[in-house]
């Protein structure tokens, strides 16, 4: 599931958007294959690195590839 959040400078209230917009936060939980394809296509991400994020045993780390920075965390 993908949810896009946005908070403007004038209105600090968090909004949920229907689609991404510059400056928005893209929150992804339990992505489907379609969600991953969307992320790769729309944001120009690396397919293999995005697939790594779905592995529950993936080690927390920061990785940079071309113009994107990937942050792997656990909570």
Along the 75 residues of the chain, how does pLDDT read in single tens digits?
999 999 988 877 899 999 999 989 999 988 999 999 999 999 999 999 999 888 888 889 999 988 889 888 877
DSSP letter (8 states) at residue 57? T
Question: Among residues 17, 20, 66, which one has the least CA distance to residue 39?
Answer: 20
DSSP letter (8 states) at residue 40? H
pLDDT at position 68: 86
pLDDT at position 53: 86
CB 70 within 8 A of CB 49: yes
- The residue extents of the domains of the chain are 1-29, 31-75
Q: What is the pLDDT of residues 40-56, one digit of tens each?
A: 999 999 999 999 888 88
Tokens (6 digits) for 5: 């959040």
């Amino acid at each position: 599931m993908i949810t896009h959040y946005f908070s403007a400078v004038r209105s600090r209230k968090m909004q949920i958007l229907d689609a991404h917009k510059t400056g928005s936060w893209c929150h992804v939980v339990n992505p489907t294959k379609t969600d991953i394809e969307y992320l790769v296509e729309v944001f120009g991400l690396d397919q293999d690195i995005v697939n790594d994020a779905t592995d529950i045993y993936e080690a927390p780390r920061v990785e940079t590839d071309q113009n994107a920075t990937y942050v792997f965390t656990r909570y």
